[in-house]
Amino acid sequence: MFDFIAHGKKFLALSGILILVSVLALSFWGLKMGIDFEGGAISQVKFLEERPSNVEIVQKLDSLELGDVSVRLSGSSSAILRFPEIDEEVHQQILELLGEVEEESYEMVGPVIGRESSRKARSAIFLSLLAIILYVTWAFRKLSRVLGKGESWRYGIGATLALAHDVLILLGFFAVLGHFQGIEVNVAFITALLTVLGYSVNDTIVIYDRIRENLLLHRAKNLRETINLSLNETITRSLNTSLTTLSVLLAIYIFGGEAIQSFILAMMIGVISGTWSSLVIASQFLLWRRK
């Protein structure tokens, strides 16, 4: 039987390093916000002749004085252009200046809608975390009779810390991708983030439930031994579930097309982080400040 608790400090140190890197990435680079949050226009075009470079594309549009124009190459012949809010006349002028192109998609979002989407995204994440901590506290309320008053709150806070760990790592990962690859955060990313929260807390509750069962079945064991036993009993289930989910997500990432790759990538990172945090963060917290 593997002693998770004995290696707990090493596991926590690894998580601490990842969180530190994520915080630094967010502090220095931040997230590259997509059109859903900042507003503006985004157009994906396919060049029917040889595709110019990023710099050449921007130079073609200089005469329109669009302001901050972002260009990201896609595939072998396409490019994704993002610029401030424009009218239809300017939109058509852009296509003319680009030359022989076929517009594959075009979307425009006003700044007011962008700010509203950003506010709702933050509210959704906050309310999700609050609902999770309240639910876990209520679900494990009976443990207070076994371990003492207030123990159910320890479970709720432990689950929330694990989720905060997952959120920080996912945000940090996309801050790095945004800086080096130009990957933007949009509404689909928020959907992936909330899905990851649900996946992670489900894994945590499975482990917590086994700890609760073992506390009642093996009262002679101390809490450290009970947690270690529970982790060993659930590790196979957790890994099998995660690997199965990852295999499906990887297939979708490879064959599903570029439009959903960022969403699927966020899901994959979240599944890995969620499985890790359930084993390392949520369970280890139950021993915090215990004699």
Report phi then psi at 26, rounded to 5: -70, -35
User: Which residues have CB under 8 Å from 198's CB, separation 6+?
Assistant: none
End position of a domain, from candidates 48, 80, 108: 108
End position of a domain, from candidates 108, 132, 151: 108
* Residue 151 and residue 104 share a domain: no
* Beta carbons of 147 and 215 less than 8 angstroms apart: yes
Q: Is 57 a domain residue?
A: yes
* Residue 82 and residue 172 share a domain: no
End position of a domain, from candidates 54, 80, 108: 108
Residue span of the structural domain in which 183 resides = 8-35+113-285
* Residue 124 and residue 143 share a domain: yes
Give the closest residue to 129 by CA, choosing from 169, 155, 156.
156
Report the distance separating Cα 33 and Cα 99, nearest Å: 29
Residue 44 belongs to domain with CATH number: 3.30.70.3400
Neighbours of 252 (CB within 10 A): 15
* Beta carbons of 32 and 181 less than 8 angstroms apart: no
pLDDT, one tens digit per residue, over 164-205 is 999 999 999 999 998 888 888 887 888 888 888 888 888 888
Q: Is 268 a domain residue?
A: yes
Q: Is 52 a domain residue?
A: yes
- Percent of the chain residues topping a pLDDT of 70: 91
- Considering its fold, how many domains does the chain have in total? 2
Angle at 204 between CA 285 and CA 195, to 5 degrees: 125
* 3-class DSSP string for 250-290: HHHHHHCCHHHHHHHHHHHHHHHHHHHHHHHHHHHHCCCCC
* Beta carbons of 210 and 234 less than 8 angstroms apart: yes
* Residue 54 and residue 135 share a domain: no
* Residue 237 and residue 183 share a domain: yes
User: Which residues have CB under 8 Å from 273's CB, separation 6+?
Assistant: 165, 166, 169, 170, 196, 200
Q: Which residue has the tokens 């199965």?
A: 244
User: Which residues have CB under 8 Å from 108's CB, separation 6+?
Assistant: 35, 40, 41, 42, 85, 86
Q: Is 1 a domain residue?
A: no
**CA dihedral of residues 25, 202, 6, 211 (deg, nearest 10):** 150
Report the distance separating Cα 167 and Cα 197, nearest Å: 8
Residue 154 belongs to domain with CATH number: 1.20.1640.10
Report phi then psi at 109, rounded to 5: -130, 130
Q: Is 23 a domain residue?
A: yes
Mean predicted lDDT score pLDDT of the chain: 85
* Residue 225 and residue 101 share a domain: no
User: Which residues have CB under 8 Å from 185's CB, separation 6+?
Assistant: 31, 32, 33, 34, 37, 174, 178
Report the distance separating Cα 289 and Cα 124, nearest Å: 32
pLDDT, one tens digit per residue, over 91-121 is 898 998 888 889 988 888 765 556 676 777 7
Q: pLDDT tens track of the chain, all 291 residues?
A: 888 888 888 999 999 999 999 999 999 999 888 777 777 888 899 998 889 888 888 888 888 887 778 888 887 888 888 887 788 888 898 998 888 889 988 888 765 556 676 777 778 778 877 887 788 778 777 666 655 566 677 888 888 899 899 999 999 999 999 888 888 888 788 888 888 888 888 888 889 888 888 887 776 568 888 899 999 999 998 999 999 999 999 999 988 877 788 889 999 999 999 999 998 999 888 888 765
> pTM higher than 0.85 for the full model?
no
